[in-house]
Amino acid sequence: MIKVNIPRLDLNNYVNGNAGQRKQFSDDIGEAFNETGFVTINNHGLDKALIDKLYADVKALFALPDAVKMKYEVPGLAGQRGYTSKGKETAKGFTAPDLKEFWQIGQIVNDDDQLKNEYPENLSVEEIPDFNTTTETVYKKLEYAGIHLLRAIAVYLGLPEGYFDDKVHNGNSILRTLHYFPITDPDALAPDAVRAGAHEDINLITLLIGASADGLELLTRENEWFPVKAYGEDLVVNVGDMLQRLTNNKLKSTTHRVVNPPRELMKFSRYSVPFFLHPKSGMDLSCLPSCIDQDHPKQYDDINAGDYLDERLREIGLKK
């Protein structure tokens, strides 16, 4: 039996807890991110009513006719805003594109930060006004939760608690609403065609709001696939490559995938909503000196977050 450390942690213990609770939370998330790169989180600020409303609006979006959705696919945005149609994203090392379509919502700058001029505008779905307001609310709540998770991680790493605060304030974070569409003819699929090929996330951390069906799996250190399941409305949170790079592999960006369902369930859709917490493009991702020693030599060249993101978007086919 594979033993995988994916603890269920209460974010309220860090946000509003006493010193002992806060330290325990920081130790627990750091240890899990060091071992498996995954945790599940409750008391994260999104209630069941909001999550149910989100998924209802997401289903309504993807139920729109393809011709309607296509008017929201903007060439040149590398899938970073609005709609991305089927067959556009391919996991690194795969030949068949993922069996999905998605919509992306970017940063909403509400202060006088000059970054407002750098980010492309979000696209509003005229046919479903609620989708725009619901996803904006969810975006800000997940960003708030993510900032507190990064504070706990900073403490674990021996950094000032607010180390990440100015780097992620108005950062280039993305809320992605995903539709893994029904597979009507399984026999016609390419041999390596799956809902989401094995990959690692690009960003600092990812916060995933459940999913409408099973399928998410992580690759263990023993090179075996292990299903990841969340309880109720819990978030699944995992390390991205930017954080792994920054910590010189101390924190693990674990390979994961979304497998195809059993044949009898292929005719059903699967929906999920991940929030990819990114820093500003100018953040230095050079390995932290505290994570480099004789036993752990520096593993990565210096690069900033913006250049690294561009490099990775090209690898997965979203940017030319």
CATH number at residue 98: 2.60.120.330
Q: Quickly count helices (H) and strands (E) in the chain.
A: 8, 12
- Is residue 18 one of the residues assigned to a domain? no
In a domain, 25, yes or no: no
Is 272 among the domain residues? Answer: yes
> What's the predicted TM-score (pTM) here?
0.95
What interhelical angle do 48-62 and 129-156 show, nearest 10? Answer: 130
Question: How much is the pLDDT for 285?
Answer: 97
Higher confidence at residue 196 or residue 25? 25
Residue 33 lies in a domain: no
Segments forming the whole domain that contains residue 144: 45-208+240-315
145: β partners: none
The tally of domains found in the chain comes to 1
b/e per residue 213-224 (b: at least 16 CB within 10 A): bebbbbbbeeee
- DSSP-assigned letter for residue 288: P
In a domain, 252, yes or no: yes
What are 206-222's pLDDT values in tens digits? 999 977 778 899 999 88
**Tokens 């493009």 identify what position?**
281
Categorize the per-residue pLDDT at 2 as very low, low, confident or very high, splitting at 50, 70 and 90.
low
- Segment 265-300, tens digit of pLDDT: 889 999 999 999 999 999 999 999 999 999 999 999
